[in-house]
Structure 1
Amino acid sequence: MVEATRRGFFQLCGGAVFAGALFSHPAQSQDAVYRLGSNDKVRINVFGEPDLSGEFEVDGGGNISYPLIGQIAIGGLTIPQVESKMVDLLKKDFLQQPRVSVEVLTYRPFFILGEVNLPGRYGYVNGMTVINAVAMGGGFTYRADRGDIRIRRETTKGTQKIRANVDTPVLPGDVIEVTERLF
């Protein structure tokens, strides 16, 4: 279903807004589950093995440095995939029946630039929308075009550009651009 909104934009069922060129809807551009990436911080718990449990930051190459094993590539994986990978690696040479849980402690930051008062890098918070990100960036400047907000998002399919509005969800690693109005 498509509904016309103010200023000639069109709103698709689910909230995606577009005008002119078609941009993808955020829910379609990101896999249904969160995938780990650079600067995410995770806690890995190996039950009954405190020396193998701890907090790890994903480096620029998508790896963590883990005791006994060394570098483990987890960038681009989901939490269940990391848990399964850890079980396989630990079962291979170290433990008979490892039980592993993984949780994200800190998500990678998002960036906001353009016509906001304090552009820059900010820590991601679950459930964030563009208006929350703008608020973290000190609010819109008087020149901001609130109807022309764009998000650049890295996905497993490459970089996607999304036309956004203030209610569009923001994900870790997103780059939000608030453009300048012409008049």
Structure 2
Amino acid sequence: MPRLLSVLLFALLTLLAPLTRAADPSADYRLGAGDAIRVQVFQNPDLTIEARVAEGGTITYPLVGAVKLGGLAISEAESTIADALRLGGFVQQPQVNIVLLQVRGNQVAVLGQVNRPGRFPLETTNTRVSDMLAAAGGATVGGDDIAILIGLRDGKPYRKVIDVPSLYLDENSQDDITVAGGDSIYVHRAPVYYIYGEAQRPGAYRVERGMTVMQALAMGGGPTIRGSEWWLRLHRKSADGSIEKISPKLTDPVLPNDVIYVRESLF
């Protein structure tokens, strides 16, 4: 009698599983590296195991060996193991049930020049880059306008350079893509230029988009009484590594790592 009840209970849970998953907002969660699962096969207790998905997306399962589950939804993973058992002749009509014990692959790392770097869970399946940057507190003052996203898509390495301001300024930014478990977002340090000589506040400053020499000079407080905005020298590293010495116009653009020298006025 107890065995009959257990059989009926397992059959009932198997029938209800699709309905339960359909009502679950995370039903389309796809397994990733680091996820811990329990695999059960009806009336085959010897095939019940607990395993962790390896970096390559596989688990080692009794009788069939390595099984690729990474990137599959729970129902797809169940079908994959069932097919392997049936095709191998181990179980004629396997009824496989997988329980997600611990989620590790369902996280995104946000690194570099952000206020709260770390790993953050994907709470929904349509989480976007802007959501993850917000979770990390946004970029620091010294953070670049460019972020780099790396991960896997369809089992292949994926890399995308993202224009951060456009995520919030453009109504339909093409860069605000959906992230996936295991992705990493890196915000590099913003490029800088240097100003010295007869400047009020010599030092290193962030290169803003479209910045001109006049604007760069203003960031440094302008020239001192002894200096002149018309008597400048710009040092710029060329493609071959040599240093060019330029007498810039105030409307010329400023590039990363430019060095502006404010010379003393002749009069």
Q: 5 Å matches for 1:23-172? A: 36-77=31-72, 79-91=74-86, 92-102=88-98, 104=100, 106-108=103-105, 109-127=107-125, 128-145=127-144, 147-156=145-154, 158-162=156-160, 163=162, 165=167, 167-172=176-181
The CA RMSD measured in Å over matched residues stands at 3.2
Determine the C-alpha separation between the residues in 1 that align with 2:187 and 2:51: 33
Residues 133 and 168 of structure 1: CA distance in aligned 2, closer, same or farther (over 3 Å):
same
Query: Which of 57-66 and 39-48 deviates more?
Result: 39-48
Residues 41 and 132 of structure 1: CA distance in aligned 2, closer, same or farther (over 3 Å):
farther
Contact 2:35–2:52, Cα closer than 8 Å, also in 1: yes
Amino acid at match of 1:176: I
Runs of 4+ in 1 over 6 A off after TM superposition: none
Does 1 or 2 have the higher relative contact order (CA < 8 Å, sep 6+)?
A: 1
User: Match of 2:13?
Assistant: none
Q: How many residues align?
A: 150
Question: Could you report, residue by residue, the CA deviation over 1:42-80 in whole angstroms, capped at 9, with x for unpaired residues?
Answer: 343433445534542111233213244443233355545
Question: Could you report, residue by residue, the CA deviation over 1:107-163 in whole angstroms, capped at 9, with x for unpaired residues?
Answer: 513221122123233443333333432344344312234x53331231226322222
Structure 1 residue runs of 5 or longer lacking an equivalent are 1-32
**Percent sequence identity over aligned pairs:** 35
Determine the C-alpha separation between the residues in 1 that align with 2:119 and 2:156: 21
Determine the C-alpha separation between the residues in 2 that align with 1:132 and 1:141: 16
Residues 157 and 116 of structure 1: CA distance in aligned 2, closer, same or farther (over 3 Å):
same
Question: Could you report, residue by residue, the CA deviation over 1:10-56 in whole angstroms, capped at 9, with x for unpaired residues?
Answer: xxxxxxxxxxxxxxxxxxxxxxx876442233343433445534542
Contact 1:107–1:124, Cα closer than 8 Å, also in 2: no
Secondary structure of 1:141's counterpart equals coil
Structure 2 residue runs of 5 or longer lacking an equivalent are 1-27, 169-175, 191-206, 209-267
Secondary structure of 2:79's counterpart equals helix
Determine the C-alpha separation between the residues in 1 that align with 2:49 and 2:187: 39
User: Match of 2:261?
Assistant: none
Per-residue deviation, 1:98: 1.0
User: Match of 2:15?
Assistant: none
Contact 1:110–1:175, Cα closer than 8 Å, also in 2: yes
Determine the C-alpha separation between the residues in 2 that align with 1:65 and 1:157: 19
Determine the C-alpha separation between the residues in 1 that align with 2:155 and 2:63: 33
Question: Could you report, residue by residue, the CA deviation over 1:60-106 in whole angstroms, capped at 9, with x for unpaired residues?
Answer: 23321324444323335554543332112222343221122446552
Secondary structure of 1:84's counterpart equals helix
- TM-score between both structures, scaled by the size of structure 2: 0.45
Contact 1:44–1:100, Cα closer than 8 Å, also in 2: yes
Residues 157 and 72 of structure 1: CA distance in aligned 2, closer, same or farther (over 3 Å):
closer
Query: Which of 41-50 and 108-117 deviates more?
Result: 41-50
- TM-score between both structures, scaled by the size of structure 1: 0.61
